[in-house]
């Protein structure tokens, strides 16, 4: 499993397209928001948590169709499916590699982008913590969508339509964690719910993805 994760991370870093595209989109979204809503600092501060979380969510969507695409095209996925290695482990490895090359970089750049939106200093730690936890859930759910649409030409749109409704609870809990901290409320229960949701997806989604892969690779 570690070998698969290392292989996917190496391929992603070598190509550079997915990581660069996600980070560029995240940056452009944050830069364009003040142009649309105006330069009012109070408004930007109030909407900053939601904008940052929506930006991270949409940035994760951009590379979901690549999770299984290259392996499906060159036959590697068929070989892995017939190997003694379980498909649940393959699915988990793919999701972890996607998080390491997309969710983690987005988390690391979120603080500077939060500064551009006027995010109060109290919001930086919960922003980073919620994104680090929540983007893992986004990668897991996105991997499931990619498994369902594997082998379908131009399946990127289908993946987005499948996973966007599943992303809503993570988006709400993540943004509320930051907002409640900024407002002086206790964000611990919200962050705990987000962590619980992520653990649930990590435990359940690989099994659902493995069933989808078996059905599509027959």
Q: CA 127, 131, 133 angle in degrees (round to 5)?
A: 120
Residue 142, both tokens: 């996105």
At 77-86, the pLDDT tens digits run 767 667 667 8
User: Rounded CA gap, 102 and 23, in Å?
Assistant: 8
Say if CB 206 and CB 95 are below 8 A apart.
Answer: yes
165 sits in which H/E element: helix 156-182
User: Rounded CA gap, 6 and 80, in Å?
Assistant: 16
Say if CB 49 and CB 178 are below 8 A apart.
Answer: yes
Q: How many domains does the chain have?
A: 1
Say if CB 142 and CB 96 are below 8 A apart.
Answer: no
- Give the pLDDT confidence score for residue 156 in this predicted structure: 66
User: Rounded CA gap, 90 and 88, in Å?
Assistant: 5
210 sits in which H/E element: helix 188-216
Report the range of poorest mean pLDDT among 35-44, 127-136, 146-155: 146-155
How far, in whole angstroms, is CA 178 from its chain's centroid?
A: 18
If pLDDT is split at 50, 70 and 90, which confidence band does 178 have? very high
At 71-126, the pLDDT tens digits run 776 677 767 667 667 888 888 988 999 999 999 999 999 999 999 898 999 999 99
Report the range of poorest mean pLDDT among 8-17, 81-90, 183-192: 8-17
* Residue 118, CA distances (Å) to 48, 51, 109, 126, 187 in order: 7, 12, 15, 15, 20
Range(s) of the domain holding residue 45 = 2-216
Hey, is 135 helix, strand or coil?
helix
Residue 168, both tokens: 């809503």
């Amino acid at each position: 499993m570690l070998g698969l994760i290392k292989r996917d991370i190496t391929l992603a870093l070598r190509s550079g397209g997915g990581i660069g595209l996600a980070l560029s989109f995240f940056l452009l979204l944050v830069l364009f928001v003040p142009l649309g809503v105006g330069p009012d600092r109070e408004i930007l501060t109030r909407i900053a948590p939601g904008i940052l979380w929506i930006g991270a969510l949409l940035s994760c969507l951009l590379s979901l169709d690549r999770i299984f695409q290259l392996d499906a095209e060159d036959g590697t996925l068929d070989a892995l499916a017939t190997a003694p290695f379980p498909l649940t482990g393959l699915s988990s490895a793919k999701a972890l590699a996607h998080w390491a090359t997309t969710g983690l970089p987005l988390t690391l750049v979120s603080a500077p982008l939060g500064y551009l939106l006027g995010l109060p200093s109290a919001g930086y730690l919960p922003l980073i913590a919620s994104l680090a936890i929540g983007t893992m859930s986004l990668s897991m759910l996105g991997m499931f969508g990619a498994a369902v649409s594997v082998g379908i030409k131009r399946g990127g749109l289908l993946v987005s339509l499948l996973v966007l409704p599943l992303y809503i609870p993570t988006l709400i809990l993540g943004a509320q964690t930051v907002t409640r901290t900024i407002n002086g409320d206790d964000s611990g229960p919200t962050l705990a719910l987000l962590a619980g949701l992520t653990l649930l997806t990590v435990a359940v989604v690989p099994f659902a993805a493995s069933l989808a892969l078996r059905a599509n690779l027959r």
